[in-house]
Amino acid sequence: MQHVNANDGVSLPAALDVSAVNYWYGQKQVLADISFSIAPGRFAVLLGLNGAGKTTLFSLISHLYDARHGTVRIFGHDVSREPGEALRRLGIVFQARTLDLDLSVYQNLSYHASLHGIGRPEALSRIGTLLAQIDMSDRLHEKARSLSGGQMRRIEIARALLHRPPLLLLDEATAGLDIHSRAEILAIIRELVIAEGISVFWATHLIDEVEDSDHVVILHKGRVLADGTVDDVVRSCGANSIREAFAMLSGVAPVTVDGVPR
Ligand SMILES: Nc1ncnc2c1ncn2[C@@H]1O[C@H](COP(=O)(O)OP(=O)(O)OP(=O)(O)O)[C@@H](O)[C@H]1O
């Protein structure tokens, strides 16, 4: 899908275009006819309960698995046919922790920079900029092991952005964090969308991570049940809020306290 740039009317390819993707583990189909597209510069939320298929979809987008049924394009580049072009435009933060705990923050980041072919002077400058953006400049020489869960997540985000990808995927990035660290991580990512103009695809099962201005893709039992702005999704369900729409679509009763939705 193409998106028209409001400034000059030029058509840009979608940041992410997923078309007719199906996936099976053995005989078990876990993704069925998945199609949606995310415009450049958008914060898009992949919302789904545990087991919906979010991690499997991320594995296909990041080419860990091959999408043999359907296509995935990143800024117009087919992940299966042109993996180099597609993947250099992608940064990813996985659900599982992936820092080397025995290395310093600097060593973790500079190792990753060299994997991307970024020379030492550029890597140093990029690491400095990113650590300032995530408020971690003073931790450069500390061992990853000494950081809190939220601080490790921030370093993983900086690492995913070292090679300046225009699309960033985050799989349950706030899992296991306390409410304060969750809010911090989300705020950092939302600021990056504005400051760097990147597109973000944020997978979560937590409805309170969705904001009114977001694009939402609701995935349930391997199917896309809704795709659009929060307003579109709420209206198409005849609901009063995105919380209620998600509850209706996923068949889970919304949490209420004294009859008031929370
Ligand atoms: N390697 C695997 N082999 C077989 N089935 C799998 C495998 N990985 C995941 N599944 C199944 O595929 C379905 C989708 O799982 P997936 O991990 O993609 O969902 P998810 O939305 O990311 O859930 P969670 O938030 O719990 O990680 C689930 O039914 C899961 O049990």
**Beta carbon of 177 within 6 Å of any ligand 1 atom:** no
What does the buried/exposed string (b/e) look like for 103-117 if buried means 16 or more CB atoms within 10 Å of the residue's CB? ebbbbbbbebbeeee
Per-residue pLDDT tens digits for 189-219 = 999 888 889 999 999 999 999 999 999 999 9
Whether 27 and 146 map to the same domain: the answer is no
Q: Is residue 94 part of a domain?
A: no
Whether 195 and 253 map to the same domain: the answer is yes
Which residues are paired to 136 by β-bridges? none
Per-residue pLDDT tens digits for 125-171 = 999 999 998 889 999 999 999 999 999 999 999 999 999 999 999 99
Number of domains in the chain: 2
In this structure, which residue's CA is closest to atom 18 in ligand 1?
53
Whether 190 and 130 map to the same domain: the answer is no
HSE at residue 256, side-chain half, CA atoms within 13 A, is 9
Q: Is residue 249 part of a domain?
A: yes
- Give me the interface pTM, i.e. the ipTM: 0.96
Q: Is residue 49 part of a domain?
A: yes
Distance in angstroms (rounded) separating the CA atoms of residues 151 and 133: 13
Whether 84 and 178 map to the same domain: the answer is yes
Whether 27 and 53 map to the same domain: the answer is yes
Whether 159 and 172 map to the same domain: the answer is no
d(CA 104, ligand 1 centre) in Å: 33
d(CA 221, ligand 1 centre) in Å: 10
| Residue 51 backbone zone (phi > 0: left; psi -120 to 50: alpha; other: beta) | left
**Beta carbon of 61 within 6 Å of any ligand 1 atom:** no
Per-residue pLDDT tens digits for 77-113 = 999 999 999 999 999 999 888 899 999 999 999 999 9
Which CATH number covers residue 225? 3.40.50.300
User: Helix, strand, or coil here: 38?
Assistant: strand
d(CA 55, ligand 1 centre) in Å: 7
